[in-house]
Amino acid sequence: MNRSTANAGGTGDPDRPDALLPLLAGNEEVVSFFAWAADLDATNPADHELEDGVRLASGAKLEQFARAGTGDAFCFVGEGGEERPVVYVSLDGGAGLLALGLPELVRLCLVAPWWREAPGRTVEQLRAVADEYREDLPDLDERRDRAAQALGLDTGALPSETAALARLAELSRGPVAKACLVLGYEGESLDPLFGADRT
């Protein structure tokens, strides 16, 4: 395990807590994996703007830092750096907490880039989704390993797909998720991305 892995939750330089976003936006191997396989594009921050009126019920800051190909948004909650909670805001009217900090989101996307397909599926269905994803992207694991290496991550220390998705479900039911409630432009609560019935 290298020093960065040991001291910064497995990603980034321990002396630079906001070291991940520049890599997600500018490192060729990292961009190749995250924009292509995980559908998280952080390459043009100036283009990342939420729809007018989309905000947090708490009144805290909601800062988009990346987008999906559909236009869905990855956003930081509150003030601070990459340690802030991350929520996903879908143009389809859903939103939910994904991670407690960018390092956790990075790990989720590395091991289960197809996480959007998880809600409501059984373990067997999730395995089929993962297998289909790998059929469509046959060099997925090689790209993941190169991206992880560029991020200073030991791939052997990454969580399993099962553990990462279980953590996603846990977060969706926890107190931080309630504090990260997203409202639409008419003031209505957006639908949760992950329900308590996920298995």
Compute CA distances 76 → 49, 83, 85, 196, whole Å: 12, 9, 6, 23
Is residue 138 included in any domain, yes or no? Answer: yes
What does the pLDDT profile of the chain (199 residues) look like in tens digits? Answer: 233 333 333 444 434 456 899 999 999 999 999 998 999 999 987 777 788 889 999 999 999 999 998 889 999 999 999 999 999 999 889 999 999 999 999 999 999 999 988 777 777 888 888 888 889 889 999 999 999 999 999 999 999 998 998 898 899 888 999 999 999 988 899 998 876 443 3
pLDDT for 89 equals 95
Neighbours of 27 (CB within 10 A): 17
Is residue 195 included in any domain, yes or no? Answer: no
Is residue 94 included in any domain, yes or no? Answer: yes
Structural domain boundaries, residue 120: 3-188
Q: Residue 134 corresponds to which amino acid?
A: R
Is residue 65 included in any domain, yes or no? Answer: yes
Is residue 196 included in any domain, yes or no? Answer: no
Is residue 11 included in any domain, yes or no? Answer: yes
CA 197 – CA 199 distance, rounded (Å): 6
pLDDT for 45 equals 72
Using DSSP's 3-state secondary structure scheme, residue 74 falls into strand
CA 149 – CA 112 distance, rounded (Å): 17
Is residue 92 included in any domain, yes or no? Answer: yes
pLDDT for 18 equals 66
Is residue 194 included in any domain, yes or no? Answer: no
CA 92 – CA 108 distance, rounded (Å): 22
CA 61 – CA 39 distance, rounded (Å): 24
CB 8 within 8 A of CB 15: no
Cite the beta strand spans of the chain per DSSP E. Answer: 55-56, 62-67, 73-77, 85-89, 94-100, 182-183, 191-192
| Residue 80 φ/ψ, nearest 5 degrees | 130, -155
Domain count, the chain: 1
